[in-house]
Amino acid sequence: MSRALAKVLAEGVRDHGAEIVFGMPGGGPNLDMVGAAGEAGLRFVLAHGETAAAMMAGTFGLLTGRPGMAIATRGPGAACATNGAAQATLDRFPLLLVTDCVPGPDRERFAHQRFDQRQLFSPVTKWSGRLVDSPRAGDVVRNALALAAARPAGAVHLDYDPRGREIDLPVRAALDHSDIDVVERAAELLHGAAHPVAIVGMEAIDCAAQVLAVLERLGCPVLTTYQALGVVPEGHPQQAGLYTSGAIEAAIINECDLVLAVGLDQVEPMPSPWRFDVPVVSVSEVSACATLVPISIEVLGPLASTLDRVVGTSTGGWPDGTGAAALAKARAVLSATGTGNFGPLELAAAVAAAAPATATATVDAGAHFLAVMPFWPASTPLRLLISNGLATMGFALPAAIGAGLARPGTPVVCMVGDGGLAMTLAELETLARLQLPVTVVVFDDAALSLIEVKQRAGQGGPEAVRFAPVDYAAVAAAMGLESAVVTTTAEATALLAGGWDRPRLIDARIDPSSYAPLIVATRG
Ligand SMILES: Cc1ncc(C[n+]2csc(CCOP(=O)(O)OP(=O)(O)O)c2C)c(N)n1
Ligand SMILES: [Mg+2]
Protein backbone atom coordinates (compact mmCIF):
# COMPACT_ATOMS: atom_id res chain seq x y z
CA MET A 1 0.00 0.00 0.00
CA SER A 2 2.81 2.32 0.94
CA ARG A 3 4.52 1.74 -2.37
CA ALA A 4 1.39 2.64 -4.34
CA LEU A 5 1.11 5.93 -2.47
CA ALA A 6 4.84 6.56 -2.93
CA LYS A 7 4.27 6.18 -6.66
CA VAL A 8 1.43 8.70 -6.63
CA LEU A 9 3.65 11.14 -4.72
CA ALA A 10 6.69 10.67 -6.95
CA GLU A 11 4.71 10.95 -10.18
CA GLY A 12 2.82 13.99 -8.92
CA VAL A 13 6.06 15.72 -8.06
CA ARG A 14 7.66 14.73 -11.36
CA ASP A 15 4.65 15.89 -13.37
CA HIS A 16 4.98 19.24 -11.61
CA GLY A 17 8.46 19.55 -13.09
CA ALA A 18 10.61 18.66 -10.08
CA GLU A 19 13.76 16.73 -10.90
CA ILE A 20 15.36 16.02 -7.56
CA VAL A 21 14.24 14.81 -4.15
CA PHE A 22 16.55 15.81 -1.29
CA GLY A 23 16.67 14.27 2.12
CA MET A 24 17.83 11.88 4.76
CA PRO A 25 15.71 8.73 4.76
CA GLY A 26 14.61 6.66 7.71
CA GLY A 27 13.60 3.06 7.19
CA GLY A 28 10.25 1.97 5.80
CA PRO A 29 8.05 4.40 3.89
CA ASN A 30 10.88 6.89 3.29
CA LEU A 31 12.74 4.25 1.36
CA ASP A 32 9.62 3.54 -0.67
CA MET A 33 9.55 7.23 -1.53
CA VAL A 34 13.19 7.14 -2.59
CA GLY A 35 12.58 4.02 -4.68
CA ALA A 36 9.42 5.37 -6.28
CA ALA A 37 11.17 8.67 -7.00
CA GLY A 38 13.89 6.80 -8.88
CA GLU A 39 11.34 4.83 -10.88
CA ALA A 40 9.59 8.07 -11.77
CA GLY A 41 12.86 9.44 -13.14
CA LEU A 42 13.68 11.68 -10.19
CA ARG A 43 17.15 11.87 -8.71
CA PHE A 44 17.67 11.46 -4.97
CA VAL A 45 20.29 13.66 -3.29
CA LEU A 46 21.34 12.53 0.15
CA ALA A 47 22.17 15.25 2.68
CA HIS A 48 23.60 15.02 6.17
CA GLY A 49 20.86 17.01 7.84
CA GLU A 50 17.14 17.39 7.23
CA THR A 51 17.19 21.17 7.56
CA ALA A 52 20.04 21.35 5.07
CA ALA A 53 18.10 19.02 2.72
CA ALA A 54 15.05 21.28 2.99
CA MET A 55 17.17 24.34 2.22
CA MET A 56 18.73 22.61 -0.80
CA ALA A 57 15.26 21.64 -2.02
CA GLY A 58 13.78 25.10 -1.42
CA THR A 59 16.65 26.75 -3.26
CA PHE A 60 16.34 24.27 -6.10
CA GLY A 61 12.64 25.09 -6.22
CA LEU A 62 13.20 28.83 -6.16
CA LEU A 63 15.72 28.75 -8.98
CA THR A 64 13.86 26.30 -11.20
CA GLY A 65 10.47 27.91 -10.62
CA ARG A 66 8.90 24.70 -9.30
CA PRO A 67 8.65 23.53 -5.70
CA GLY A 68 11.57 21.51 -4.48
CA MET A 69 10.92 18.37 -2.49
CA ALA A 70 12.58 17.07 0.65
CA ILE A 71 11.89 13.98 2.71
CA ALA A 72 12.57 13.22 6.35
CA THR A 73 11.85 10.37 8.65
CA ARG A 74 9.33 10.58 11.47
CA GLY A 75 10.19 11.93 14.90
CA PRO A 76 13.82 13.06 14.91
CA GLY A 77 13.96 13.58 11.15
CA ALA A 78 10.85 15.72 11.22
CA ALA A 79 12.07 17.71 14.22
CA CYS A 80 15.42 18.30 12.51
CA ALA A 81 13.68 19.62 9.40
CA THR A 82 11.80 22.41 11.16
CA ASN A 83 14.36 25.17 10.58
CA GLY A 84 14.46 24.25 6.91
CA ALA A 85 10.69 24.57 6.73
CA ALA A 86 10.82 27.88 8.58
CA GLN A 87 13.48 29.15 6.18
CA ALA A 88 11.42 28.23 3.14
CA THR A 89 8.30 29.81 4.57
CA LEU A 90 9.79 33.08 5.80
CA ASP A 91 12.11 33.47 2.82
CA ARG A 92 9.35 32.51 0.37
CA PHE A 93 11.12 29.49 -1.15
CA PRO A 94 8.70 26.89 -2.60
CA LEU A 95 9.17 23.60 -0.76
CA LEU A 96 7.24 20.37 -0.35
CA LEU A 97 8.42 18.58 2.78
CA VAL A 98 7.19 15.02 3.22
CA THR A 99 7.74 13.16 6.48
CA ASP A 100 7.02 9.63 7.57
CA CYS A 101 4.79 9.40 10.58
CA VAL A 102 3.52 6.82 13.03
CA PRO A 103 0.69 5.28 10.95
CA GLY A 104 -2.86 6.29 11.77
CA PRO A 105 -4.09 2.96 13.24
CA ASP A 106 -0.98 2.66 15.46
CA ARG A 107 -1.08 6.15 16.82
CA GLU A 108 -2.78 5.22 20.06
CA ARG A 109 -0.42 2.31 20.71
CA PHE A 110 2.99 3.72 19.72
CA ALA A 111 4.71 6.43 21.68
CA HIS A 112 8.13 5.73 20.18
CA GLN A 113 9.16 8.62 17.87
CA ARG A 114 5.61 9.93 17.97
CA PHE A 115 4.52 13.50 18.37
CA ASP A 116 2.01 15.54 16.47
CA GLN A 117 4.09 16.43 13.44
CA ARG A 118 1.34 18.42 11.78
CA GLN A 119 1.14 20.58 14.86
CA LEU A 120 4.93 20.92 14.89
CA PHE A 121 4.98 22.13 11.31
CA SER A 122 1.88 24.34 11.35
CA PRO A 123 3.64 27.54 12.46
CA VAL A 124 6.60 27.10 10.09
CA THR A 125 4.70 26.14 6.95
CA LYS A 126 1.88 27.56 4.86
CA TRP A 127 -0.04 24.37 5.46
CA SER A 128 0.57 21.05 7.14
CA GLY A 129 -1.62 18.02 6.42
CA ARG A 130 -1.51 14.36 5.61
CA LEU A 131 -1.18 12.23 2.53
CA VAL A 132 -3.17 9.01 2.81
CA ASP A 133 -3.80 6.24 0.32
CA SER A 134 -7.03 7.37 -1.33
CA PRO A 135 -8.33 8.23 -4.78
CA ARG A 136 -7.70 11.89 -3.86
CA ALA A 137 -3.98 11.36 -3.11
CA GLY A 138 -2.92 12.79 -6.48
CA ASP A 139 -5.05 15.88 -5.84
CA VAL A 140 -3.47 16.32 -2.43
CA VAL A 141 0.03 16.23 -3.98
CA ARG A 142 -0.94 18.60 -6.79
CA ASN A 143 -2.62 21.05 -4.46
CA ALA A 144 0.27 20.90 -2.01
CA LEU A 145 2.75 21.75 -4.78
CA ALA A 146 0.53 24.55 -6.09
CA LEU A 147 0.13 25.99 -2.61
CA ALA A 148 3.90 25.90 -1.95
CA ALA A 149 4.48 27.90 -5.14
CA ALA A 150 1.59 30.35 -4.73
CA ARG A 151 2.49 33.86 -3.62
CA PRO A 152 3.89 34.17 -1.02
CA ALA A 153 5.75 30.92 -1.68
CA GLY A 154 6.78 28.75 1.24
CA ALA A 155 6.87 25.29 2.72
CA VAL A 156 3.98 22.84 2.66
CA HIS A 157 4.27 19.77 4.85
CA LEU A 158 2.69 16.37 4.30
CA ASP A 159 2.67 13.57 6.84
CA TYR A 160 2.97 10.48 4.67
CA ASP A 161 0.49 8.06 6.18
CA PRO A 162 -0.40 5.18 3.81
CA ARG A 163 -2.60 3.57 6.44
CA GLY A 164 -4.35 6.75 7.49
CA ARG A 165 -7.94 7.54 6.56
CA GLU A 166 -8.69 11.22 6.89
CA ILE A 167 -8.04 13.24 3.75
CA ASP A 168 -6.63 16.77 4.00
CA LEU A 169 -6.80 18.90 0.89
CA PRO A 170 -4.73 22.09 0.81
CA VAL A 171 -6.48 25.00 -0.86
CA ARG A 172 -5.00 28.22 -2.22
CA ALA A 173 -6.57 31.48 -1.16
CA ALA A 174 -7.35 33.96 -3.93
CA LEU A 175 -5.37 37.20 -3.93
CA ASP A 176 -7.15 40.54 -3.45
CA HIS A 177 -7.44 43.26 -6.09
CA SER A 178 -7.90 46.90 -5.17
CA ASP A 179 -10.82 48.83 -6.57
CA ILE A 180 -10.21 51.33 -9.34
CA ASP A 181 -10.65 54.32 -7.02
CA VAL A 182 -7.76 53.09 -4.82
CA VAL A 183 -5.54 52.82 -7.90
CA GLU A 184 -6.58 56.31 -8.95
CA ARG A 185 -5.90 57.84 -5.54
CA ALA A 186 -2.47 56.23 -5.45
CA ALA A 187 -1.72 57.43 -8.98
CA GLU A 188 -2.79 60.95 -8.04
CA LEU A 189 -0.61 61.00 -4.93
CA LEU A 190 2.39 59.78 -6.92
CA HIS A 191 1.67 62.28 -9.70
CA GLY A 192 1.78 65.11 -7.16
CA ALA A 193 5.18 64.04 -5.85
CA ALA A 194 8.18 65.97 -7.16
CA HIS A 195 10.85 63.50 -6.02
CA PRO A 196 9.66 59.94 -5.33
CA VAL A 197 12.01 57.12 -4.36
CA ALA A 198 11.07 53.51 -5.03
CA ILE A 199 11.79 50.61 -2.70
CA VAL A 200 11.48 47.35 -4.59
CA GLY A 201 10.86 44.13 -2.68
CA MET A 202 10.98 40.45 -3.44
CA GLU A 203 7.60 40.17 -5.17
CA ALA A 204 9.27 41.92 -8.11
CA ILE A 205 11.67 39.05 -8.72
CA ASP A 206 9.23 37.21 -10.98
CA CYS A 207 8.45 40.23 -13.15
CA ALA A 208 11.69 42.16 -12.83
CA ALA A 209 11.92 43.33 -16.44
CA GLN A 210 8.37 44.74 -16.50
CA VAL A 211 8.78 46.42 -13.12
CA LEU A 212 12.09 47.94 -14.18
CA ALA A 213 10.56 49.23 -17.42
CA VAL A 214 7.82 51.04 -15.47
CA LEU A 215 10.32 52.46 -12.98
CA GLU A 216 12.49 53.65 -15.87
CA ARG A 217 9.50 55.65 -17.06
CA LEU A 218 9.17 57.14 -13.60
CA GLY A 219 12.90 57.86 -13.58
CA CYS A 220 13.39 57.84 -9.81
CA PRO A 221 16.18 56.38 -7.67
CA VAL A 222 15.39 52.77 -6.79
CA LEU A 223 16.44 50.94 -3.65
CA THR A 224 15.96 47.19 -3.46
CA THR A 225 15.57 44.90 -0.49
CA TYR A 226 18.20 42.23 0.07
CA GLN A 227 16.13 39.59 -1.67
CA ALA A 228 15.25 41.83 -4.62
CA LEU A 229 18.90 42.64 -5.33
CA GLY A 230 19.44 42.56 -9.09
CA VAL A 231 15.92 43.70 -10.11
CA VAL A 232 17.73 46.92 -10.98
CA PRO A 233 21.01 45.74 -12.48
CA GLU A 234 24.40 46.85 -11.24
CA GLY A 235 25.46 49.96 -13.15
CA HIS A 236 21.91 51.11 -13.91
CA PRO A 237 21.65 54.91 -13.44
CA GLN A 238 18.63 54.53 -11.11
CA GLN A 239 20.15 51.79 -8.90
CA ALA A 240 20.50 53.54 -5.54
CA GLY A 241 21.51 50.53 -3.43
CA LEU A 242 19.86 48.49 -0.74
CA TYR A 243 16.97 49.21 1.55
CA THR A 244 18.32 47.79 4.82
CA SER A 245 15.80 49.31 7.27
CA GLY A 246 18.89 51.09 8.58
CA ALA A 247 20.83 54.32 8.20
CA ILE A 248 22.74 53.84 4.98
CA GLU A 249 19.80 54.53 2.65
CA ALA A 250 18.54 57.48 4.72
CA ALA A 251 20.55 60.02 2.70
CA ILE A 252 18.53 59.42 -0.47
CA ILE A 253 15.16 58.78 1.22
CA ASN A 254 15.56 62.02 3.17
CA GLU A 255 15.61 63.88 -0.14
CA CYS A 256 12.35 62.40 -1.40
CA ASP A 257 8.76 63.52 -0.91
CA LEU A 258 7.13 60.12 -1.46
CA VAL A 259 8.16 56.48 -1.14
CA LEU A 260 6.78 54.07 -3.71
CA ALA A 261 7.00 50.56 -2.26
CA VAL A 262 6.89 47.98 -5.05
CA GLY A 263 6.30 44.34 -4.23
CA LEU A 264 7.52 44.74 -0.67
CA ASP A 265 6.84 41.62 1.37
CA GLN A 266 6.02 42.23 5.02
CA VAL A 267 8.74 39.80 6.04
CA GLU A 268 11.47 41.93 4.47
CA PRO A 269 11.93 45.06 6.59
CA MET A 270 13.92 44.64 9.79
CA PRO A 271 12.05 45.60 12.96
CA SER A 272 13.65 49.04 13.25
CA PRO A 273 11.70 52.29 13.37
CA TRP A 274 10.69 53.91 10.08
CA ARG A 275 12.70 57.13 9.96
CA PHE A 276 10.87 59.14 7.32
CA ASP A 277 7.93 61.52 7.29
CA VAL A 278 6.69 61.15 3.71
CA PRO A 279 3.65 59.40 2.27
CA VAL A 280 4.15 55.78 1.24
CA VAL A 281 2.28 54.30 -1.72
CA SER A 282 2.54 50.54 -1.73
CA VAL A 283 1.83 48.33 -4.74
CA SER A 284 1.94 44.60 -4.12
CA GLU A 285 0.20 41.29 -4.72
CA VAL A 286 -0.03 40.30 -1.06
CA SER A 287 -0.66 42.99 1.55
CA ALA A 288 2.68 44.52 2.54
CA CYS A 289 1.23 45.13 6.00
CA ALA A 290 1.77 48.58 7.44
CA THR A 291 3.28 47.48 10.74
CA LEU A 292 6.85 48.55 9.94
CA VAL A 293 6.44 50.81 6.95
CA PRO A 294 3.55 53.27 7.49
CA ILE A 295 1.66 52.82 4.23
CA SER A 296 -0.59 55.73 3.18
CA ILE A 297 -2.29 53.95 0.28
CA GLU A 298 -2.01 50.25 -0.42
CA VAL A 299 -2.81 49.02 -3.90
CA LEU A 300 -3.18 45.28 -4.40
CA GLY A 301 -3.11 43.47 -7.73
CA PRO A 302 -0.80 41.72 -10.22
CA LEU A 303 2.43 43.59 -9.59
CA ALA A 304 3.70 44.81 -12.95
CA SER A 305 0.34 45.79 -14.46
CA THR A 306 -0.89 47.43 -11.24
CA LEU A 307 2.36 49.36 -10.92
CA ASP A 308 1.97 50.43 -14.53
CA ARG A 309 -1.46 51.90 -13.76
CA VAL A 310 -0.27 53.64 -10.59
CA VAL A 311 2.76 55.21 -12.28
CA GLY A 312 0.73 56.27 -15.31
CA THR A 313 2.38 59.36 -16.77
CA SER A 314 4.20 60.41 -13.59
CA THR A 315 7.85 61.32 -13.89
CA GLY A 316 10.37 61.48 -11.09
CA GLY A 317 11.87 64.91 -11.56
CA TRP A 318 15.38 63.91 -10.50
CA PRO A 319 18.56 64.73 -12.41
CA ASP A 320 19.81 61.73 -14.41
CA GLY A 321 22.02 59.38 -12.43
CA THR A 322 20.78 60.45 -8.97
CA GLY A 323 20.34 56.81 -7.99
CA ALA A 324 23.81 55.77 -9.11
CA ALA A 325 25.33 58.75 -7.30
CA ALA A 326 23.51 57.78 -4.09
CA LEU A 327 24.81 54.22 -4.44
CA ALA A 328 28.38 55.43 -4.97
CA LYS A 329 28.13 57.62 -1.86
CA ALA A 330 26.68 54.81 0.25
CA ARG A 331 29.43 52.45 -0.88
CA ALA A 332 32.09 55.07 -0.11
CA VAL A 333 30.72 55.48 3.43
CA LEU A 334 30.78 51.73 3.99
CA SER A 335 34.22 51.25 2.40
CA ALA A 336 35.66 53.95 4.65
CA THR A 337 35.09 51.65 7.63
CA GLY A 338 37.79 49.30 6.29
CA THR A 339 40.97 49.15 8.36
CA GLY A 340 43.42 48.47 5.55
CA ASN A 341 44.05 45.01 7.04
CA PHE A 342 42.66 41.83 5.47
CA GLY A 343 39.13 42.24 6.78
CA PRO A 344 35.61 41.39 5.59
CA LEU A 345 35.36 44.35 3.20
CA GLU A 346 38.65 43.49 1.53
CA LEU A 347 37.68 39.83 1.22
CA ALA A 348 34.17 40.60 -0.07
CA ALA A 349 35.66 42.97 -2.66
CA ALA A 350 38.15 40.33 -3.81
CA VAL A 351 35.36 37.76 -4.21
CA ALA A 352 33.03 40.18 -6.01
CA ALA A 353 35.79 41.24 -8.41
CA ALA A 354 36.77 37.66 -9.26
CA ALA A 355 33.42 35.85 -9.38
CA PRO A 356 32.38 35.05 -12.96
CA ALA A 357 29.42 37.08 -14.24
CA THR A 358 27.35 33.90 -14.47
CA ALA A 359 27.95 32.97 -10.83
CA THR A 360 25.22 32.52 -8.26
CA ALA A 361 26.23 33.77 -4.83
CA THR A 362 24.88 32.68 -1.48
CA VAL A 363 25.56 34.47 1.77
CA ASP A 364 24.89 33.45 5.35
CA ALA A 365 23.52 35.32 8.36
CA GLY A 366 26.29 37.07 10.25
CA ALA A 367 28.31 40.25 10.22
CA HIS A 368 30.01 39.20 6.99
CA PHE A 369 26.82 39.73 4.97
CA LEU A 370 27.03 43.45 5.74
CA ALA A 371 30.36 43.50 3.88
CA VAL A 372 29.04 41.46 0.96
CA MET A 373 25.53 42.67 0.18
CA PRO A 374 26.00 46.38 -0.59
CA PHE A 375 28.82 45.68 -3.03
CA TRP A 376 27.60 42.58 -4.84
CA PRO A 377 27.26 43.39 -8.56
CA ALA A 378 24.01 41.57 -9.35
CA SER A 379 22.86 41.91 -12.93
CA THR A 380 19.63 39.94 -12.54
CA PRO A 381 17.51 38.81 -9.58
CA LEU A 382 18.27 35.55 -7.80
CA ARG A 383 21.99 35.88 -8.48
CA LEU A 384 22.60 36.43 -4.80
CA LEU A 385 20.60 34.34 -2.33
CA ILE A 386 20.26 35.24 1.32
CA SER A 387 17.98 34.20 4.15
CA ASN A 388 16.48 37.54 5.10
CA GLY A 389 12.97 36.71 6.31
CA LEU A 390 14.19 34.07 8.76
CA ALA A 391 17.79 35.32 8.67
CA THR A 392 19.05 31.92 9.69
CA MET A 393 22.63 30.81 9.99
CA GLY A 394 23.47 27.60 8.16
CA PHE A 395 21.72 28.66 4.97
CA ALA A 396 24.54 29.56 2.59
CA LEU A 397 26.14 26.13 2.11
CA PRO A 398 22.94 24.11 1.54
CA ALA A 399 21.62 26.90 -0.68
CA ALA A 400 24.86 26.84 -2.68
CA ILE A 401 24.44 23.10 -3.23
CA GLY A 402 20.81 23.63 -4.28
CA ALA A 403 21.92 26.40 -6.65
CA GLY A 404 24.71 24.27 -8.11
CA LEU A 405 22.16 21.57 -8.95
CA ALA A 406 19.55 24.01 -10.27
CA ARG A 407 22.02 25.77 -12.56
CA PRO A 408 24.24 22.96 -13.79
CA GLY A 409 27.68 23.91 -14.94
CA THR A 410 27.55 27.50 -13.71
CA PRO A 411 29.76 28.55 -10.81
CA VAL A 412 28.45 29.21 -7.32
CA VAL A 413 30.14 31.11 -4.53
CA CYS A 414 29.10 30.49 -0.95
CA MET A 415 30.12 33.22 1.48
CA VAL A 416 29.74 32.06 5.05
CA GLY A 417 30.95 32.87 8.56
CA ASP A 418 32.83 30.27 10.54
CA GLY A 419 29.83 29.93 12.87
CA GLY A 420 27.33 29.30 10.07
CA LEU A 421 29.70 26.94 8.29
CA ALA A 422 30.21 24.89 11.44
CA MET A 423 26.43 24.41 11.71
CA THR A 424 26.35 22.76 8.28
CA LEU A 425 29.92 21.48 8.10
CA ALA A 426 28.99 17.93 7.13
CA GLU A 427 27.42 19.20 3.90
CA LEU A 428 30.99 19.80 2.66
CA GLU A 429 30.99 16.06 2.05
CA THR A 430 27.75 16.42 0.08
CA LEU A 431 29.45 19.08 -2.01
CA ALA A 432 32.52 16.93 -2.57
CA ARG A 433 30.35 13.93 -3.47
CA LEU A 434 28.27 15.90 -5.98
CA GLN A 435 31.36 17.63 -7.45
CA LEU A 436 29.49 20.89 -8.02
CA PRO A 437 31.42 24.01 -9.02
CA VAL A 438 30.94 25.71 -5.64
CA THR A 439 33.62 27.90 -4.07
CA VAL A 440 33.06 28.16 -0.31
CA VAL A 441 34.65 31.30 1.12
CA VAL A 442 34.79 31.26 4.91
CA PHE A 443 34.87 34.66 6.61
CA ASP A 444 36.79 33.06 9.44
CA ASP A 445 37.18 35.10 12.61
CA ALA A 446 36.58 32.29 15.14
CA ALA A 447 33.70 34.31 16.54
CA LEU A 448 30.01 35.11 16.27
CA SER A 449 30.97 38.60 15.22
CA LEU A 450 27.48 39.95 14.62
CA ILE A 451 26.61 39.08 18.19
CA GLU A 452 29.94 40.15 19.63
CA VAL A 453 29.61 43.68 18.29
CA LYS A 454 26.20 43.99 19.95
CA GLN A 455 27.37 42.55 23.25
CA ARG A 456 27.40 44.93 26.22
CA ALA A 457 28.76 44.66 29.74
CA GLY A 458 26.72 42.15 31.69
CA GLN A 459 25.81 40.11 28.60
CA GLY A 460 28.47 37.45 28.98
CA GLY A 461 32.05 37.72 27.93
CA PRO A 462 34.04 36.13 25.13
CA GLU A 463 32.83 32.68 26.22
CA ALA A 464 29.41 33.57 24.76
CA VAL A 465 30.69 34.58 21.32
CA ARG A 466 34.18 33.18 20.66
CA PHE A 467 35.24 29.78 19.38
CA ALA A 468 38.64 28.15 19.41
CA PRO A 469 40.25 28.55 15.99
CA VAL A 470 39.48 25.73 13.55
CA ASP A 471 41.46 24.86 10.45
CA TYR A 472 38.51 24.69 8.07
CA ALA A 473 40.82 24.09 5.13
CA ALA A 474 42.05 20.91 6.81
CA VAL A 475 38.49 19.85 7.65
CA ALA A 476 37.44 20.42 4.04
CA ALA A 477 40.44 18.46 2.76
CA ALA A 478 39.45 15.59 5.03
CA MET A 479 36.02 15.63 3.39
CA GLY A 480 37.53 15.43 -0.07
CA LEU A 481 37.58 19.09 -1.09
CA GLU A 482 40.38 21.13 -2.57
CA SER A 483 41.13 23.82 0.02
CA ALA A 484 43.49 26.56 1.15
CA VAL A 485 44.03 29.07 3.93
CA VAL A 486 44.47 32.73 2.97
CA THR A 487 45.63 35.49 5.28
CA THR A 488 46.07 38.44 2.91
CA THR A 489 44.06 40.15 0.20
CA ALA A 490 46.77 39.30 -2.31
CA GLU A 491 46.57 35.59 -1.48
CA ALA A 492 42.77 35.63 -1.75
CA THR A 493 42.89 37.49 -5.06
CA ALA A 494 45.45 35.07 -6.50
CA LEU A 495 43.40 32.01 -5.54
CA LEU A 496 40.12 33.50 -6.75
CA ALA A 497 41.59 34.28 -10.17
CA GLY A 498 40.69 30.74 -11.27
CA GLY A 499 39.30 27.47 -10.01
CA TRP A 500 35.59 28.28 -10.39
CA ASP A 501 34.85 25.03 -12.20
CA ARG A 502 35.18 22.71 -9.21
CA PRO A 503 34.28 22.44 -5.54
CA ARG A 504 36.74 24.03 -3.11
CA LEU A 505 36.96 25.86 0.18
CA ILE A 506 38.96 28.96 0.97
CA ASP A 507 39.45 29.53 4.68
CA ALA A 508 40.02 33.29 4.89
CA ARG A 509 41.42 34.29 8.27
CA ILE A 510 40.14 37.84 8.49
CA ASP A 511 40.61 40.71 10.90
CA PRO A 512 37.08 41.42 12.17
CA SER A 513 37.81 44.86 13.63
CA SER A 514 35.97 46.75 10.88
CA TYR A 515 32.65 45.04 11.68
CA ALA A 516 31.75 47.42 14.51
CA PRO A 517 32.05 50.63 12.42
CA LEU A 518 30.53 48.84 9.40
CA ILE A 519 27.42 47.95 11.37
CA VAL A 520 27.07 51.50 12.69
CA ALA A 521 27.44 52.90 9.16
CA THR A 522 24.82 50.48 7.84
CA ARG A 523 22.25 50.46 10.58
CA GLY A 524 22.95 53.65 12.53
C1 LIG B 1 20.34 29.29 13.44
C2 LIG B 1 20.69 30.62 14.00
N3 LIG B 1 21.18 30.69 15.25
C4 LIG B 1 21.53 31.90 15.77
C5 LIG B 1 21.36 33.05 15.06
C6 LIG B 1 21.74 34.40 15.64
N7 LIG B 1 22.95 34.89 14.95
C8 LIG B 1 22.89 35.72 13.89
S9 LIG B 1 24.37 36.08 13.25
C10 LIG B 1 25.16 35.14 14.39
C11 LIG B 1 26.67 35.02 14.37
C12 LIG B 1 27.15 34.37 13.13
O13 LIG B 1 28.51 34.01 13.29
P14 LIG B 1 29.37 33.64 12.01
O15 LIG B 1 28.65 32.64 11.20
O16 LIG B 1 30.75 33.29 12.43
O17 LIG B 1 29.34 35.00 11.19
P18 LIG B 1 30.02 36.40 11.63
O19 LIG B 1 28.97 37.19 12.35
O20 LIG B 1 31.19 36.10 12.52
O21 LIG B 1 30.39 37.04 10.33
C22 LIG B 1 24.25 34.55 15.28
C23 LIG B 1 24.62 33.67 16.42
C24 LIG B 1 20.81 32.93 13.75
N25 LIG B 1 20.58 33.98 12.97
N26 LIG B 1 20.52 31.71 13.25
MG1 LIG C 1 32.45 34.45 12.57
Question: What DSSP state is assigned to residue 487?
Answer: -
CB 99, CB 124: distance < 8 Å = no
Q: Of the candidates 103, 92, 99, 159, which has an alpha carbon nearest to the alpha carbon of residue 126?
A: 92
Q: What are phi and psi of 447, to 5 degrees?
A: -160, 160
Pocket test for ligand 1, best of 90, 226, 393 (most atoms within 8 A of CB): 393
Which residue, judged by its Cα, is nearest atom 11 of ligand 1?
448
Q: Check residue 166 and give its pLDDT.
A: 87
Which residue, judged by its Cα, is nearest atom 8 of ligand 1?
366
H or E stretch at 421: helix 418-423
Q: In this predicted model, what pLDDT tens digit does every residue of 414-463 receive, in sequence order?
A: 999 999 999 999 999 999 999 999 999 999 999 999 999 999 999 999 99
Which residue, judged by its Cα, is nearest atom 3 of ligand 1?
393
Q: Check residue 106 and give its pLDDT.
A: 84
Reply yes or no on whether the pLDDT at 25 is more than 60.
Answer: yes
Q: Starting from the CA of residue 415, give the closest ligand.
A: 1
Q: Check residue 402 and give its pLDDT.
A: 98
Give the whole-angstrom CA distance, residue 304 versus residue 65: 18
Reply yes or no on whether the pLDDT at 326 is more than 90.
Answer: yes
Reply yes or no on whether the pLDDT at 483 is more than 60.
Answer: yes
**Section 88-114 average pLDDT:** 92
In 263-349 the beta strands, taken as DSSP E runs, fall at 280-284, 297-300
Reply yes or no on whether the pLDDT at 293 is more than 90.
Answer: no
**Section 337-344 average pLDDT:** 96
pTM: 0.98
Q: Of the candidates 200, 202, 235, which has an alpha carbon nearest to the alpha carbon of residue 214?
A: 200
Atom of ligand 1 nearest to the CA of 364: 15
The model's confidence at residue 65, banded by pLDDT at 50, 70 and 90, is very high
DSSP 3-state helix, strand, coil percentages of the chain (rounded to 5)?
Answer: 40, 15, 40
Roughly how many angstroms between the first and final C-alpha of the chain, as a whole number? 60
Pocket test for ligand 1, best of 363, 421, 448 (most atoms within 8 A of CB): 448
Helices of type H across 289-383: 303-311, 322-335, 344-354, 368-372
Reply yes or no on whether the pLDDT at 289 is more than 80.
Answer: no
What is the distance in A from the centroid of ligand 1 to the CA of 393? 5
**Section 115-129 average pLDDT:** 97
Reply yes or no on whether the pLDDT at 288 is more than 90.
Answer: no
What is the distance in A from the centroid of ligand 2 to the CA of 254? 34
Question: Cβ < 6 Å from ligand 1: which residues?
Answer: 364-368, 391-394, 417-420, 443, 445, 447-451
The model's confidence at residue 1, banded by pLDDT at 50, 70 and 90, is low
Atom of ligand 1 nearest to the CA of 420: 15
What is the distance in A from the centroid of ligand 2 to the CA of 502? 25
Question: What DSSP state is assigned to residue 206?
Answer: G
**Section 157-173 average pLDDT:** 90
Mean pLDDT of the chain: 96
Tell me what percent of the residues of the chain surpass a pLDDT of 70.
Answer: 99
What is the distance in A from the centroid of ligand 1 to the CA of 291? 26
Q: What's the half-sphere exposure (Cβ side, CA atoms, 13 Å) at 153?
A: 24
Q: Which residue has the higher pLDDT, 81 or 289?
A: 81
Q: Starting from the CA of residue 363, give the closest ligand.
A: 1
**Section 261-281 average pLDDT:** 93
Reply yes or no on whether the pLDDT at 2 is more than 80.
Answer: no
CB 335, CB 345: distance < 8 Å = yes
What is the distance in A from the centroid of ligand 1 to the CA of 115? 29
Strand order in the sheet with 95-100: 43-46, 20-24, 68-72, 95-100, 155-160, 127-131
H or E stretch at 517: helix 515-523
Q: In this predicted model, what pLDDT tens digit does every residue of 166-222 receive, in sequence order?
A: 888 888 888 889 999 999 999 999 999 999 999 999 999 999 999 999 999 999 999
Q: Check residue 28 and give its pLDDT.
A: 79
Tell me what percent of the residues of the chain surpass a pLDDT of 90.
Answer: 90
